[in-house]
Structure 1
Amino acid sequence: MAPSTSTTSFVFTVKRQAPELITPAKPTPHEYKLLSDIDDQDGLRFQIPVIQFYRHDPSMGGTDPVKVIREAIAKTLVFYYPFAGRLREGPTRKLMVECTGEGVLFIEADADVTLEEFGDALQPPFPCLEELLYDVPGSAGVLNCPLLLIQVTRLKCGGFIVALRLNHTMSDAPGLVQFMVAVGEMARGATSPSVHPVWQRELLSARDPPRVTCTHHEYDEVPDTKGTIIALDDMAHHSFFFGPMQVSALRKFVPHHLQKCSTFEVLTACLWRCRTIALQPDPEEEVRILCIVNARGKFQPPLPSAYYGNAFAFPVALTTAGKLCQNPLGYALELVMKAKADVNEEYMRSLADLMVTRGRPHFAVVRSYLVSDVTRAGFGDVDFGWGKAAYGGPAKGGVGAIPGVASFYIPFTNKKGESGIVVPICLPAPAMDIFMTELDNMLKSSDQPIHGGTSTFITSAL
């Protein structure tokens, strides 16, 4: 594949001030708030990193983004005061926030680099991420630790980077964006957020008595009989761009009766199939794909629009590696569409009940692939006064501590001005070669030219 965009590897120095705690600007209630039974599942007990890049804005004069954002966070925490607390664990692993007002961790930093040096392809993985989002020793635990860590790094060009790490049990992508938009509003002079946050985590608590009424293969206990399929060493990280031309090429493989499929569905089916071919599992082995589905609108009535807890499911499509690889794309596509369609209010109620009856299990990771579409989450729209982000979204290509298991779908505009989706993929190097060949063959087999600067392949900043 011919690279459509490339950036050279580079190293820069970041000078950080000592981490500090930002507390709410006014006194807040000291109370305990239970998380929902969707929030505190094992698979969400980790820290998720997000990063925003902002360009220099001459109209902001000598305004210091660190000072502006620091003060805005303190004001926003008055309304989102649970973020300033600490998680505690009760009986049966039940998580709750003790709203202590201790605050969120904040780091002020300066980097000897310009935004332009990151190149045109602002997408994960990012160089020196550990410098732009410093892991303060002792801060990354799930319990009794700050729930947010925010680092604001000034750049030589007058731009800046806001990097953030969230304890995922507190919020999903829409919930986090809601908080960040509120910080942006306060930074621009508002006295209160335009959207007032809604806690109400009891809306997603288990029923009494709990009753699991749906099938939840995403929480199957899958024995790792053949060894872990993701090698921890010799991993290759690449990002792939899917614009209108690439999506159109893939749609040529969609059978007539599935033509109403979404871009997410056809892309997910394609990546799942190509990835499985690349990993070459035993044909009889079960493989599964987990699709993140936002369930806010699946309830009657819908969840409050300002609800900022986790409100999604991981519905799973399940088949054998042999069937997935040997059948045409329509086979995988139909499985993905059915899995997504399974999510409704009863599914979410059943899921909460499963959590309390089975001890809040982790989703299955053996021979699994998880995809999360953040193209409409709104990370890039967060405005602290310097305009929208040049890039806003996930700071890494995957989630959790297991490399290669997950991919985000990230909004991206290429050099030609085409809007599309970038998907970071992490695979063992030999499997990555097969994956790229398989994907390239699918695109080339249509009448869409993909070379000469329109390839899906983008080299990363690493």
Structure 2
Amino acid sequence: MTSSSPLLFTVRRSQPELVLPAAPTPHEVKLLSDIDDQEGLRFNLPVIFVFRHEPSMKEKDPVKVLKHALSRTLVYYYPGAGRIREGAGRKLMVDCTGEGVMFIEAEADITLDQFGDALQPPFPCFQEILCDVPGSEYIIDRPIRLIQVTRLKCGGFILALSLNHTMGDGSGLRQFVSAWAEIARGANQPSIQPVWNREILMARDPPYITCNHREYEQILPPNTYIKEEDTTIVVHQSFFFTSAHIAAIRRLVPLHLSRCTAYDLITACYWCCRTKALQVEPDEDVRMMCIVNARSRFSANNRSSLIGYYGNCIAFSAAVTTAKELCGNQLGYAVELIRKAKAQVTEKYMHSLADFMVIKERCLFTKGRTCMVSDWTRAKFSEVNFGWGEAVYGGAAKGGIGSFLGGTFLVTHKNAKGEEGLILPICLPPEDMKRFVKELDDMLGNQNYPTMSGPSFILSTL
């Protein structure tokens, strides 16, 4: 429910500053991999961590602790203190200049308790929790990371940062943030040493495509209108799946699929309900792209080379069917397609994908009648601890992946009642969102599904 009286609070921000590595680092140019620099990863992804007051840390200033630890962490992750450059054939590389990452100190006159159950996507007034520095929407010749630490009146704080997706995926971000947190707690160096090793996912010479990559099919003529890409008015809403909800969904699939993952079940739900909500024509193809972390799919020798790898090692493997088949079959049909799409990602598939990117000029994935879910449950961002205990929330700041509204994340979370579950933040136009909620409620057996919304906010910024 939305509060009838808006909550007033003020954010005071300092001027942005550059945090440099604490010691000299190599000045060199490092190529990104041919999976890193594809068109679909050329954006900044906002991520947020929320921490409560910790009495044992009351003499410590989180801004100073995090800034000092960041400087030391950048000695190990020094490419992150450089700048992205673009070369011939749109090839991206990192110029390791050591110029630093953008850091902003802020204060808000509000407590965590006043946020209520709004401590999950969509975060109220997120634009003030992560300052929009002019030019921060670009990735070329800009600071690779933008970080803001906001102290709260209760002694807690909010850490928000933007992930330049060409530099790494969710697993890579978790590795970096964990290293940063270890050093903040007093470690001399990260327990997992970062490795670059981008050559593992470079195209072969000559490149040759050996797999079918339906996630990049360009199925629509230019200037075709796609309803779900209309961003004029969009509602952001999160859905919290408890173990009871997941059990209810599991009962909808055949016995041989009963051991499928919560990701498979929720992703299938999202795909079916969203397709119905958008009222896609029955004979039109629809896609669910499953973002697969391929690290475990490599051979033992190559897998050992990926220990400490913080680049992108993901594939957007696509399940494809018609709207009629998807919506006319039982949920198990969608689950089967999703499981098959995930299973096709192998080491061979990843090498084929790198070659595909070079041959197809780093093209964008298919966006028409497509949705995408990235599984961040194993990253366990909420377990990150800078000395103030585990995060109240850790993960994506909102639904949508870059400018692609059909993309989203599955994130672990514990709500204000202490219930553990999974959050799925999504974006849809208002009428489509109403239909989506109804479809999901019907699928779950009219359990009065708990969507997430918090109090309304009025904010002033100084």
Band the TM-score falls in, shorter-chain normalisation: over 0.9
* Contact 1:16–1:109 (CA under 8 A) maintained in structure 2: yes
CA distance, structure 1, for counterparts of residue 269 and residue 163 of structure 2: 31
Tell me if the contact between 2:406 and 2:426 (Cα under 8 Å) persists in the aligned partners.
no
- Mapped to 2, the partners of 1:192 and 1:257 lie a distance apart of 46
Q: 1:416 to 1:390 in 2, by over 3 A?
A: closer
Cα distance in 2 for partners of 1:7, 1:456 equals 19
Alpha-carbon distance in 2 for matches of 1:337, 1:9: 44
Distance 1:292 1:444 in 2: 29
Contact 1:10/1:127, CA 8 A, preserved across alignment: no
For residues 136-171 of structure 1, what are the alpha-carbon distances to aligned partners after superposition, in whole Å with 9 as ceiling and x for unaligned?
A: 112331111000011011111111111101211001
Tell me which residue corresponds to 2:168: 171
List per-residue Cα deviations over 1:285-322 (Å, max 9, x = no partner): 11101011100010002152210000110000111111
Distance 2:69 2:101 in 1: 13
Unaligned runs of 5+ in 1: none
Aligned match for 2:345, one of 332, 343, 346: 343
Kindly provide the amino acid, as one letter, of the partner of residue 439 in structure 1: L
* 1:201-258 CA distance string (max 9 Å, x none): 1011111111101000111112168622223133222211111111111112102332
> How much identity, in percent, do the aligned residues show?
55
**Cα distance in 2, alignment partners of residues 354 and 188 from structure 1:** 43
Post-superposition offset of 1:191: 1.5
The DSSP-based 3-state class of the residue aligned with 2:76 is coil
2:9 pairs with 1:12: yes
Q: Tell me what 1:311 maps to.
A: 313
Q: Secondary structure at the match of 1:12?
A: strand
Which deviates further from its counterpart, 69-78 or 220-229?
A: 220-229
Q: CA deviation at 1:458?
A: 2.3
The answer to whether the Cα contact below 8 Å between 1:370 and 1:406 also exists between their aligned partners in 2 is yes
> Contact 1:7/1:460 (CA < 8 Å) preserved in 2?
no
Query: How far is the alpha carbon of 1:52 from its aligned partner?
Result: 0.7
Q: Does the alignment pair 1:320 with 2:322? A: yes
Cα RMSD after superposing both structures? 1.7
For residue 438 of structure 1, what is the amino acid of its counterpart? E
Q: Which piece of structure 1 moves more, 416-425 or 68-77?
A: 416-425
**Separation in 1 of the partners of 2:336 and 2:48?**
34
CA drift at 1:381: 1.6
CA distance in structure 2 between the aligned counterparts of 1:193 and 1:6, rounded to whole angstroms? 44
Partner of 1:136: 133
Q: How does 1:223-238 map to 2 (within 5 A)?
A: 223=220, 227-230=225-228, 231-238=230-237
1:9–1:127 Cα contact (<8 Å) kept: no
Q: Does the Cα contact within 8 Å between 2:58 and 2:155 map onto a contact in 1?
A: no
- The answer as to whether partners of 2:398 and 2:426 remain within 8 angstroms in 1 is no
Q: Are 1:432 and 2:429 an aligned pair?
A: no
Deviation at 1:93, TM superposition (A): 1.0
Task: Please state whether the residue corresponding to 1:332 is helix, strand or coil.
Answer: helix
Moved beyond 4 Å, runs of 4+: 5-9
Residues 104 and 148, structure 1, Cα contact 8 Å, conserved in 2: yes
1:459 and 2:453 matched = yes
Contact kept? 2:117, 2:452, Cα under 8 Å: no
Give the structure-2-normalised TM-score: 0.94
**Structure 2 residue 110 is the aligned partner of structure 1 residue 113:** yes
2:459 maps to: none
The counterpart of 1:185, out of the listed 182, 186, 193, is 182
Measured against aligned partners, the alpha-carbon deviations of 1:92-113 in whole angstroms (never above 9, x if no partner) come to 1111101000000000111111
Match of 2:94 among 92, 97, 110: 97
Could you say which residue in structure 2 is the equivalent of 1:255? Answer: 254
Q: Give the conservation status (yes or no) of the 8 Å contact 1:238–1:460.
A: no
Question: Kindly tell me: are residues 30 and 368 of structure 1, through their superposed partners in 2, closer, same or farther at Cα, counting changes over 3 Å?
Answer: same
- Equivalent residue, structure 1, for 2:413: 412
For residues 76 and 173 of structure 2, the distance between their equivalents in structure 1, rounded to whole angstroms, comes to 14
Q: Contact conserved, 2:115 with 2:454, CA < 8 A, in 1?
A: no
Where 1:108 maps in the other structure, the secondary structure is strand
Secondary structure (helix, strand or coil) at the match of 1:215 reads coil
Unaligned 5+ runs, structure 2: 457-462
SS in structure 1 at match of 2:163: strand
Q: Which moved more, 1:291-300 or 1:137-146?
A: 137-146
Determine the structure 1 residue equivalent to 2:152: 155
